[in-house]
Structure formats: C-alpha cells, structure tokens
Amino acid sequence: MKKIITSILAASALFACQQPNEDIVPNNPDLVTFNIEASAPEVRTALVEENGKYGAVWTAGDTYSIIEVGDGANKQNGTTTAITENSATLSASVTVAAKSYSKYEYFFAAPKASMNGACTYMAMTLPEEQAPLAMTTFDGKADFLIGKPVEIATQPAETDVLSFEIARLSAIGKVTVKGLTLAEGEKVTGVKIEFAQAVAGKITNVLTDDLRAGTYPPAFTYATYKKFVSVTLPEAQSGDFTYYMCCWPTTLAAESAYTVTVTTTATTVTKSATLPAELVFSAGDMTSLTINMANVTTEPEPEPEPETPVVMPTYVTVAGVKWAPGNLMYDKDVTVEGFAAGWSIAASQAEYFHNDTTGDIKDLTDYNQTNLFNFGGITDPFSCAAESAVSLAASDPAFDFSGKMYTDQTCTTATPDFTAANYGDVAYWASNGKWRTPSKADFEELWTKASRTKATYNLGDKTINGTYFFDPAAGESPVVGDTVKELTNEDITTGLFLPWTGRGYDGTEYNVYKIGAQGCYRTATVNSTSALDATNGVIYRIQSLSEGAYYHQSYGATARYAIRPVYVE
C-alpha cells in the first residue's frame, strides 16, 4: 500500500455585512490561507486582532478533516490530524490508503464535521455552551470552516498540490455588556443570550452539491437546535466588557424577543427585551450587539430546590407492549441482583455507554462497558467474529428466538439451562428469564399503534438525542411529530424513549458509528434470507421517523446494535 501525502493551499477572502441596529465591525477574513501536507478532520480557529483587523489562526491541539470520496459515491477515505502549533498557516502530512477509483473528490471540514448518507450532505454540531480561551477570542470548538471540494482523476502523489478555498460557516457575535451594577468585589463569570429562534445545535443536510458549486453558506436544516448561546468568560469581569460567541447564520426580526442572563460570583441578573431592528448573523461575518444592563435590579441567587429523583417504573407500557425502562447494559464492574455478573437494565431510558456526540466514529478500547451486541450471541455477545453470533442454514425459514436459548450456533438444540446456553436471547439469559429481546412483532405494534417524534432528554450534563414513542389519546389515531420534543421527567416515565446509541458494523471490533445521530435496535427475529455465513436479524433503525424495519445483508449477525428488552410476564 503506497503512502499518499497531500498538500493543500487555500486563498483568503473577506466577507462583510452591514446591519441597521448596532455598530458593525467588519467581519474577520472568511477565507483563510493554510498549507497542509496531509488529510484530516476538525480545526480550531481563534480570533486575533492585528492593526484593527481580525484574522483566523490555527490553534495547537485541535484537528481538521480532509475526506476523500471515490467515484462520487459513499466510498470514503480520510483521517484525523491534530494541529501542532498556533499559526496563520497550517502545515502537516498524512498517509491515506491507496484506492482505485475513476475520480476522486477531496472535502475539507472543521471541526467536528462528518460525512453522512451517500456523500450528499454533512452534519455538524455547534455547541450552545461555549468557553473562549481569552476575552479577545471566541471558542474555536464552536467554529466551522468548510471548503469547496477538489476533484481530480487520480489519487495524488507526494508532489501533487490540491488547492482549497476555505470559508467560515459559523457566524461570530461581538457582544458588549455595559451598565451592570455590581456589589463591591462582585464579578461577572458568564453570559447567556436566548433568542427567538435557533442559533446553536446540530445541523444536517449541509449539501455537498452546494460545496461543489462553491455556494457559501450552503443550505442546511436543523436536526436538533438550541435558541441560546451561553458563554463562560475566561476572566471574571467587574465593569463593562466585550466577549465573542459563535452561532449559526440566522436573521432575527425587529421586535423579536431576547433574554440576557448574566451570572456573577454572587447572583444572576436577567433582562428581557426586544430587538429595535433586524439583527443578521451571517456566515463568516462578525456582528456587534450591545446589551445595556443599566437599571436592571440584581437579586440574590435563590436557594436551589432539591432535585426530585426520577423513579423509573418496572416497565413502560406503550402500544400494549411492556418495554424495559432502559437499554440492556454490560459493565464488568457492576453487579445487579437477579442478573448475570456485569449485566443490568440501564437506570434511565436515556442512559447508554459512550453517549457523547463529539464525533462520527468513536474508537473504544474494549467492551468492558457496552450496550451494543451481536445477533444472538450469549457466550460472546460483543465480538464481530463469525462464530460469536447465531448463524442459520440458507434453507432455514425465518423464526424468532425471543425468550429462547440454544447450545448450538444454528439454534437447533434448545435448552432451558442458563449455564449451558451459548446462543439465543442474550437479554433473557442475562436477566435469568425476567426480560427478553423484542420480536419483530413487538416493534411492529410500536411502529403502527404508537405516536412518535424525535426528542431530546437532558441526562446530567448531556443532551441525549433519540426517538420518543407514546400512546395516542383515547379514540385518536397515532401521529408522527414534525418538531423535536424536549422530554420532561414525566415523559421519560410514561412513554418509550429510544436513544440514538450508534452502531458497530464494519468488522472493526471496537469502532462505534453515528453516536447521537442514529439508533439501531435488535429484534430476535431472523430474516428469511439468512445464510450460514451472513445471518441477518431484522432491526429497527431509528434515525428518521419513517424508516422502521430494516436489515442489511452486509452488516448482519456480527454487527453490534442496541437491545431494549421486553418484560416477561
């Protein structure tokens, strides 16, 4: 396999906008110049003022992505490269696998960017909680740079040079807070601004066709969104001050409401008002906004009310099926009464291991903690080796092993003995018969009789994405929601929330994909097109509201998916 070293040059340009209600600072250079001798994902930029101009610099410790796409299809080849030093230009090298395609495209994206689908769109998350490194900079982890892809006929050699134009997708807000009355010794530590529409969160359908055409900013839609940006100041402030934030491009109408919450070392101060004129946050532009806190009365921070713990019921009944109040879990350090060593049902419907959403692929070191399992493996439910999962003869009809255990891989010898079981229903085995893996019929009841919507749930300091199922009102038909529902504690105890736990499918033992973007849930129903070397179970892929039952011949028994058990009567 040959070593491929790619050099990238990008020209810089300047975008500007004018807005009627505030003094506007000319935006920082939207197109930055950097030299790269390698491919990789994720970049961080910081704001540096030189002679009154704001420029982007690359910051050590962060990363950027160059993604190679072959033949315009879902054939991707790329790596992640860390930036080693602060500089206005970037220089690095990378080795990618040698490929044979009729054409090659190279996409640039940074940071936290990922290619999805058949290379037709990107998905990116801009965090609503931001922490700049200094008062003169924004949080680089909330900044996004994208580039028009370069298309060439052959994979580049060591001496080839690819040229990228890099543009900023995020907008930058320069926020000045003044007129705040503080007590002696009191200092400001953070500011949260909430607007009338989305300014942060995850966007999808950032069209690669737009990138090919050089359309900036490209079109996009929201998958999950937040209407606020909360910034923790790197230095406590005692007087008027200015800080920077990142947000998605958006236009806020005149007279639209906004709320500012200032956190100090002693209290919080809140001001609600309306915009005097239209406020436009444009991709690549810096927009100034002044918040006058004069005459806003400060009040001592109220004593926080004690949190009421969420008490999960024994099971959650939706569409007549009694679902477990959490996913099946394995943790080698946990012992739960009534379960095999290491096994349990998650304490919350939203809980799952590795539930961060910081990237498209997470490389786990082992399966000492997991909630993704192969198809029907009991002796070794975590492995993607062929002998670890149920495997049937091609002539065998479809059948269901929910609540059943077997001694052999072809599931011809059933056993009631938990100590002798090697294959079958791992949820049934791990719970000593209290829970079972759902059948296709169980999921069909859910899919056809329950209402459903995309949803989020705040579990500790994390926001968990997923799909929420609930019974329609008496006499009403099921509905499919078209907005993201923020779940309450009551919701989480009365309906079924299936978090998007990701999947493992490529034969790489410890890689998990699509964490926070997709949930694949196993059934115990074998598909009728099973073959000895590629048994396929029916799964429910929960990433859209319309997908439903699904199986994939290429990623079958040895892929790892989540299991939400069903109560055994």
pLDDT given for residue 24 in this prediction: 28
Q: Do residue 375 and residue 275 come from a single domain?
A: no
Q: Do residue 492 and residue 429 come from a single domain?
A: yes
pLDDT given for residue 436 in this prediction: 96
Per the CB < 8 A criterion, the answer to whether 389 and 535 are in contact is yes
| 308 belongs to a structural domain | no
Token pair 């809980």: residue: 351
d(CA 265, CA 290): 22
Q: Do residue 248 and residue 359 come from a single domain?
A: no
- Is pLDDT larger for residue 211 or for residue 1? 211
**b vs e for 1-35, b when ≥16 Cβ sit within 10 Å of the residue's Cβ?**
eeebbbbbebeeeebebebebbebbebbbbbbbbe
Q: Which two tokens stand for residue 245?
A: 């934030």
Non-local (6+) Cβ contacts of 371 within 8 A are 327, 328, 329, 330, 346, 352, 353, 501, 562, 563
User: Domain count of the chain?
Assistant: 2
Per the CB < 8 A criterion, the answer to whether 85 and 60 are in contact is yes
Specify the DSSP class assigned to residue 13. Answer: B
| 310 belongs to a structural domain | no
State the Rg of the chain over Cα. 26
Per the CB < 8 A criterion, the answer to whether 70 and 99 are in contact is yes
What is the sign of the dihedral through the CA atoms of 52, 54, 55 and 57?
A: positive
pLDDT given for residue 343 in this prediction: 94
| 2 belongs to a structural domain | no
Most confidently modeled of 120-129, 189-198, 514-523?
189-198
pTM: 0.51
Give the confidence band of 344 by pLDDT, cuts at 50, 70, 90.
very high
Q: Is the pLDDT of residue 372 over 80?
A: yes
- Give the DSSP H or E segment for 106: strand 104-110
Q: Is the pLDDT of residue 272 over 60?
A: yes
Q: Do residue 294 and residue 328 come from a single domain?
A: no
pLDDT given for residue 12 in this prediction: 27
Give the confidence band of 263 by pLDDT, cuts at 50, 70, 90.
very high
Q: Do residue 110 and residue 152 come from a single domain?
A: yes
* Over residues 451-476, mean pLDDT: 88
Q: Do residue 296 and residue 326 come from a single domain?
A: no
Q: Do residue 54 and residue 107 come from a single domain?
A: yes
List the one residue out of 235, 226, 231 whose CA is nearest residue 244. 231
Range in 110-124, 126-140, 164-178, 441-455 the model is least confident about:
110-124
3-state secondary structure of 255: coil
pLDDT given for residue 385 in this prediction: 84
| 180 belongs to a structural domain | yes
Chain centroid to CA 416: 41
Residue 86, amino acid: N
- Is pLDDT larger for residue 66 or for residue 276? 276
* Over residues 24-49, mean pLDDT: 32
Cis-peptide into 111, omega within 30 deg: yes
Q: Do residue 292 and residue 329 come from a single domain?
A: no
In degrees, to the nearest 5, what angle opens at C-alpha 460 toward C-alphas 427 and 228?
130
pLDDT given for residue 411 in this prediction: 86
d(CA 458, CA 139): 23
Q: Do residue 278 and residue 406 come from a single domain?
A: no
In degrees, to the nearest 5, what angle opens at C-alpha 148 toward C-alphas 39 and 173?
95
| 421 belongs to a structural domain | yes
pLDDT in tens, 457-466: 988 778 888 8
Give the confidence band of 139 by pLDDT, cuts at 50, 70, 90.
confident
What is the extent of the structural domain holding 541? Answer: 317-567
pLDDT in tens, 282-332: 887 788 899 999 877 655 556 666 656 656 678 999 999 999 999 999 988
List the one residue out of 197, 285, 347, 364 whose CA is nearest residue 13. 285
| 16 belongs to a structural domain | yes
d(CA 74, CA 116): 9
Q: Do residue 422 and residue 547 come from a single domain?
A: yes
pLDDT given for residue 154 in this prediction: 81
Residue ending a domain, among 269, 300, 331, is 300
Q: Do residue 35 and residue 167 come from a single domain?
A: yes
Q: What is the mean pLDDT of the chain?
A: 76
| 307 belongs to a structural domain | no
- Is pLDDT larger for residue 152 or for residue 268? 268
* Beta pairing partners, 9: 35, 163
| 312 belongs to a structural domain | no
Token pair 């299936």: residue: 498
Q: Do residue 287 and residue 324 come from a single domain?
A: no
pLDDT in tens, 392-421: 765 556 678 899 999 998 888 999 999 999
Cis-peptide into 29, omega within 30 deg: no
Q: Is the pLDDT of residue 49 over 60?
A: no
